[in-house]
Amino acid sequence: MSTLQAKRAQKVKWSCASQRPAAGKWCEPEKEVAALIAANLDSSALALETRSLVGLAALVARRAALPLIKDHVRNARLAGADRKAITSVVVEAALYAGFAAARDGLAAVLAVFDEEDAAREAGQSRRIG
């Protein structure tokens, strides 16, 4: 563990103890999870495109606000995700989050695709794919 990661883990340990001083044992899993997250924050194990798609799937699954989903679709496109991959992620989310969540997510995705098509037709496209 690097020095930065150790400092992050120690900070989590202190904040956990100060917030719940009477529940030290209950807080142990929180410290472990926080230390694991801190250790992997700078990890490049996943490509940016993959991380964008994972984030999009999570937002669709929790039925996040449509403007937020649209922003993540745009970011996934900028990261290199093609339309088929983005659509597949939303359709796959239907199996886990329900069809209502996937329907709403797909509406946001298609709205972004329509915006891209309109921009392309107007000659303002930054990305074609």
For the stretch 70-80, pLDDT in tens is 999 999 999 99
pLDDT at 26 exceeding the cut of 50: no
Q: If 0-12 CB within 10 Å is exposed, 13-18 middle and 19+ buried, where does residue 91 land?
A: middle
Distance CA 93, CA 109 (A): 13
Kindly indicate the confidence band of residue 68, based on its pLDDT and cuts at 50, 70 and 90. very high
Q: 44-48, 57-61, 83-87, 111-115: which range is least confident on average?
A: 44-48
End-to-end CA distance of the chain: 40
């679709």: which residue's tokens?
73
Write down the pLDDT at residue 88: 95
Kindly state the tokens that stand for 97: 């989050």
Write down the pLDDT at residue 92: 92
pTM of this prediction exceeds 0.85: no
